[in-house]
Chains A and B, each alone.
Chain A
Amino acid sequence: MQDAILKINHLTVAVQEFNKETLLVNDLNLEIPRNRITALVGSSGSGKTTTGLAILRLLPQALYMKKGAIVWEGQDLMNLSENQMRLMRGKKIGMVFQEPLNAFNPVFTIGFQIGEVLKQHTTLSGPKINDEIVRLLTTVGVDDPPRILNSYPYQLSGGLRQRAMIAQAIAASPSLIIADEPTSNLDVTLQAHIMELFRKLRDELKMTILLISHDLGMVVHLAEQVAILANGRMVESGETKSIWQHPRHPFTQQLKQKMVI
């Protein structure tokens, strides 16, 4: 059994709406093994994105963690101060968002924004930063790094933007990448490329990836472990192959049945 890089224990996230408390994530327990791709699968409203945000303590103000611990290398992330947490973000745990247009600041170039991450978390400076950005962009499969470096987010196609965002996420060499619906806005053709890229991150850069998605079909081709969420609860988890071949929970069965083709 692989050792776990991150352990989520009894995570419960709630929100106060109209004087009523609704649980978005309900007693979630999950171990994320090192150097593997683990997937969190569920439909919208299942709590999977909320879980991803909770790990990095990036929950929107209205949501709060009611209960639970998120243990990273023996330390509960919930006990860290905001400053300490900020050091974790980017450096130890990186995040890739669903819509790169929203994640990038439209008035700064890609190079500037990736550079920000490098300045924050590494000791690089000056021309070395640009070299590093070019190297990162090449790693994620960008064809013409110097051009992309000087481009603004709106000038790039969806696929390129997503790659740029992944480059930004891995810039400080984090051990864990949380990818929230990274291909949902992309074509099937681009989807395959990004999946390939994640495999590369796992195999060559030895990163661990937590993939959040609603597409079980895609997950089956990419992740070794999967956890299925419904209404904030985990209904099934384990090795992807065995869950796909013998789904036990009715929700998982329904998911599989509804997969077209």
Chain B
Amino acid sequence: MLLELQGIKKYFPLKQRWGGKPSEVLKAVDNVDLTVAEGQSLGLVGESGSGKTTLGRIILKLIPFDAGRIVFEGQDITPFKGKQMRQVRKQLQMVFQDPYSSLDPRFRVFQLLDEAMLFEKEMKLADKEIFFSGLLKDVGLSADVLNRFPHEFSGGERQRIAIARALVVKPKLLILDEAVSSLDVIIQSQIIDLLLTLQKKFNLTYIFISHNLKVVKRISRRVGVIYKGKIVELAKTDELFNNPLHAYTKELLAAAIEYKPLSIRPTIALDGEFNFVDQGQEHFVLKSLGH
């Protein structure tokens, strides 16, 4: 098991009383359990505000969380800080949504890639250039890109640079947070092709967070559906798309494939006790204990 999330909770206070617990909270991530095995890419789908982005950032410990454990490669990294965490970060990388703002516009591509090499500073300049050129070739860009600034490139090209940067430290797990959502559909498709190639070449495992089901279907072995901070369904990709069991999943698929608008909320109650039940063949659905 490469990554395990156990009981992750992240609450944002909405109304704060003076010195004390907040009276109203937003449950951005509500008691999430997840496992990701090596080589088994996971897709996380949900609308904006469902908590998927928050969850992605929590996995990388970019934001703090209120309860739960993160176990990576058998190690509980929940209490890790500073130097310890930085060692772990070599294995866990992220590609962000906006290719225009995830690359610092003042840095040339060489510097952007160089910055990622925190621990191999002993490498000589010439070796670095060779290494970076190789990486850039892997993502489909030529080596003369090294001297240019991000603003000289299109969105798709910038995203390739971001992917190259994430690969510099040779991570095991790559989290892609809406990585193709701001790109044209044609470019989206190209980047997905690239990601699939890279997955084979570097033995990567992806956690692909998106609201775009079409894209998630191509790249994930398993798909989890998030709604209001909870995972409501989790199954192998084909199984989920062909046989959706949860009401929300069904609506989501209808909206994505046939562009049928969702019914007016709230229809799906999430209060009360829940159980994540295996309906057979590792197809988990969130069912309230009332059922």
Residue positions of A touching B, CB distance < 8 A: 43-45, 143, 157-158, 184, 186-193, 195-196, 214-218, 221-222, 254-255, 258-261
Inter-chain contacts of B176 with A (CB < 8 A): none
Task: Tell me, yes or no, whether B252 is within 8 Å of chain A by CB.
Answer: yes
Inter-chain contacts of A193 with B (CB < 8 A): 261-262
Contact residues, B208-225 vs A (CB, 8 A): 211-215, 217-218
Chain B at the A interface: mostly helix, strand, loop or mixed? helix
Q: Which residue of A lies closest to B251 (CB)?
A: A189
Docked Cα-Cα span, A217 to B186, in Å, equals 11
A258 near B259: Cβ-Cβ < 8 Å: no
If A187-B47, A188-B252, A255-B186 touch, whether A218 touches B259 (CB-CB below 8 Å) is: yes
Inter-chain contacts of A157 with B (CB < 8 A): 48-49
B185 near A217: Cβ-Cβ < 8 Å: yes
B60 vs chain A, min Cβ distance (A): 23
Inter-chain contacts of B218 with A (CB < 8 A): 260
B186 near A254: Cβ-Cβ < 8 Å: yes
Docked Cα-Cα span, A114 to B261, in Å, equals 26
Query: Which of A188, A222, A254 has a CB less than 8 Å from the CB of B212?
Result: A188
Docked Cα-Cα span, A43 to B185, in Å, equals 8
Q: Which residue of A lies closest to B48 (CB)?
A: A187
B217 near A189: Cβ-Cβ < 8 Å: no
Interface residues on B, range: 20 to 34
Docked Cα-Cα span, A187 to B186, in Å, equals 18
Query: Which of A189, A195, A221 has a CB less than 8 Å from the CB of B252?
Result: A189
Docked Cα-Cα span, A52 to B64, in Å, equals 44
A43 near B256: Cβ-Cβ < 8 Å: no
Q: Which residue of B lies closest to A44 (CB)?
A: B184
Task: Tell me, yes or no, whether B203 is within 8 Å of chain A by CB.
Answer: no
A184, A188, A193, A221: which has the most chain B beta carbons within 10 Å?
A: A188
B262 near A192: Cβ-Cβ < 8 Å: yes
A188 near B255: Cβ-Cβ < 8 Å: yes
Inter-chain contacts of A216 with B (CB < 8 A): 185
Inter-chain contacts of B275 with A (CB < 8 A): none
B185 near A188: Cβ-Cβ < 8 Å: no
A190 near B184: Cβ-Cβ < 8 Å: no
B127 vs chain A, min Cβ distance (A): 36
Query: Which of B182, B186, B261, B262 has a CB less than 8 Å from the CB of A43?
Result: B186
Inter-chain contacts of B212 with A (CB < 8 A): 188
Docked Cα-Cα span, A189 to B160, in Å, equals 28
Docked Cα-Cα span, A190 to B211, in Å, equals 10
B214 vs chain A, min Cβ distance (A): 4
Q: Which residue of A lies closest to B253 (CB)?
A: A188
A150 vs chain B, min Cβ distance (A): 19
Task: Tell me, yes or no, whether B269 is within 8 Å of chain A by CB.
Answer: no
B259 near A192: Cβ-Cβ < 8 Å: yes
Task: Tell me, yes or no, whether B63 is within 8 Å of chain A by CB.
Answer: no
Task: Tell me, yes or no, whether B197 is within 8 Å of chain A by CB.
Answer: no
A-B contact pairs, 14 of them (CB 8 A): A44-B154, A143-B264, A157-B48, A187-B48, A189-B211, A191-B259, A192-B259, A221-B258, A222-B259, A255-B185, A258-B185, A258-B189, A260-B189, A260-B217
